[in-house]
Amino acid sequence: MNATRHAIGQGLRRGSTEFVLSLRSAQDQGFYIFMGLGTLAYLWFNRDNELEGTGLMVTTFALPSILGALLAFGVIIGPAYSLAMEREDGTLLRHKALPHGMQGYVTGQLLYHSLSLLPLLLVILVPSFLLFDDVMSNGLAGWATVAWVTVLGLLATLPLGMILGSVVPSVQKVGTWGMLPIIVLTAISGIFSPMQALWGWVQVVAQVFPTYWIGLGMRSAFLPDEAASVELGDSWRTGMTVLVLAAWAVFGLLVAPRVLRRMARRQSGSKVLEAREAALQWVR
Amino acid sequence: MTSEQQQEAVHPQPPAQATERESVVRVRGLQMTYGQKEVLTGVDLDVHAGEVVCLLGPNGAGKTTTIEILEGFRLPSGGEVRVLGEVPAEAGDAWRARVGVVLQSWRDHARWTPRRLLTQLGGYFEPYSTTTHPRPYDVDWLLDTVGLVDNADRKIGTLSGGQRRRLDVAVGIIGRPELLFLDEPTAGFDPQARRDFHDLVHRLSDLEGTTILLTTHDLGEAERLADRILILTNGHIVADGSADELTREVAGTAEVRWSRAGERFVHATNEVTPFVRSLFEQYGDEVDDLEVRRASLEDTYIAMVQRFESGDRAATPTLTEVSG
């Protein structure tokens, strides 16, 4: 038991090291700036537009939704890519060869991808406050809501990313198996405009997955209470948000360890070598 | 736990256990089948405490498969495998802490530095440290030992292939393993790196008493490092012995070359000394350019592999006897 706790400590150190190294890397800085600029540009060009028949500004509606969508997107695709990649390059195998290494590795992944959200949220939130009016209508209570929605959202989606990264056959497949469905899901989850515009069955599908609920939770944090009239059922449905996200969290925490164990069991030096040769072929 | 102990008390193990205990690796009738393809058809091998054993064999003979089964990374199709007294695929984390595996990485941890990575990975062994066997190795000592001091704080992504392999070795031994597996450790090494690596293996074996099982294609390396050489071909071990024993066992022949009166002669024989004596008795000082060339391990290896690949199984019993 002691060794397990120690390994989790190692994992936390690993996650924070990865995060610091990522902050220092030009590639990741570029990614954050790109995401920040992209989002701000969208908001900026829509700053004078009103959401049809709602009296709400597009900016006001979209900013919290986008934060929610980025959270869900980032912590599903991030771990999925990392896992698929680190399975191929031998990082995972190195940990498999260590006592309690997999526990440490997974801990590191969870911490790293959670921390990676911070700069992403910051590059969007800080300039938004400077550029737009009425971004946060609910003061401290609103920030408290942001905090719990973020934590619950992470719990609901991080395991999904780990599961996805474990089941995809190779890095190149993360795009088709992961990116594509998640992009479609984001598109139908009412991020840029209320989802009532979509067909009924699409709304039902969207409401099964966490992206919609994280976006809704974020809107409930940032928007004034009157804005709830734009939502389905004219309400923030806070109870339902907690329920759905918690259900996904439970699902993920039950399934992810099993899938991870199964995936780890199959790792070996020759698998890494095969992946390397496949990658070399692919590059040529 | 208690029931097992009781069982042992009721059925005491035969005295043979005393010698078995020294077997760090014990494999009997190991089989591995991928679909229709039988890769291992019945491998028997032992590695004793403190030994350096080298597994040779042509590509596709199943060396890597064997090593991966022993590492616990692969499930065998059949047979009995014990490594440090446990079944590798079922062994726990305490067992993991005693085993070192040198892996060939390619682009992992590119942003990390060797020092940072070794510190991080070594940390996992701390709970398994004892006063008699402290773990992990000191990172600075290890960096020095594998020759990475000058590159200790560079990004791993910028290391050369040889430096990366040194790092792989360092990662493999960071936990101060009692048993170390190395699968083609010197592939891609330059001669200097290879020499350094051989020194390291000797040091681990002599000073630390580490038991080492490695595979290689470099027969010179096998001759230099191994206390014992195993040749794996056609899915089983066809030879087991020291380099000298193997050379004597198979090729047996040496070549004697000489010249006399401007003419060159070559004669292959098992009995070098009597032949050379008779040569001098017959021709005396006329014999010139005398040269005796013993069959090398390479000759032996090639001869053995060819013999077994052509299906001459009859020779198996006499050859495996060497192991006894």
DSSP state of A178: I
Separation in Å, CA of A251 to nearest CA in chain B: 27
Which tokens sit at A99? 């006592």
Predicted structure pTM score: 0.85
Query: pLDDT tens digits for B30-56?
Result: 999 988 888 999 999 999 999 999 999
Size of interface A-B (CB pairs under 8 A): 95
Q: Where are the domains of chain B?
A: 23-244, 253-294
Structure tokens at B7: 């069982």
Q: If one looks up domain B23-244 in CATH, what number appears?
A: 3.40.50.300
Contact A100 B124 (CB under 8 A): yes
Helix crossing, A101-131 with A26-45: angle to 10°?
40
Q: How far is CA B303 from CA A107, B203, B226, B257, B323, in A?
A: 52, 32, 20, 21, 19
Residues 8-37 of A with CB under 8 A from B: 10, 13-14, 17-18, 21-22, 24-25
Residue B295 DSSP label = P
In tens digits, chain A (284 residues) has pLDDT values of 588 999 999 999 999 999 999 999 999 999 999 999 999 999 898 888 887 767 778 888 889 999 999 999 999 999 999 999 999 888 999 999 999 999 999 999 999 999 999 999 999 999 998 888 778 888 899 999 999 999 999 999 999 999 999 999 888 888 888 889 999 998 888 887 788 778 888 898 999 999 999 999 999 999 988 888 888 887 899 999 999 999 999 999 999 999 998 998 888 888 888 888 887 776 55
* Chain-centroid distance, C-alpha B92: 24
- Phi then psi for B240, rounded to 5 degrees? -150, 115
- Could you read off the pLDDT tens digit of each residue along chain B, which spans 324 residues? 444 444 444 444 444 444 444 789 999 999 999 888 889 999 999 999 999 999 999 888 899 999 999 999 999 999 999 999 999 989 999 999 999 999 877 789 999 999 999 999 999 999 999 999 999 999 999 999 888 999 999 999 999 888 888 899 999 999 999 999 998 888 777 888 888 889 999 999 998 899 999 998 888 899 899 999 999 988 889 889 888 888 777 655 688 889 988 888 888 887 888 888 998 898 888 888 888 887 778 878 888 888 777 765 544 444 443 333
CA distance B8 to chain A (A): 28
Listed by start position, the domains of chain A span 2-283
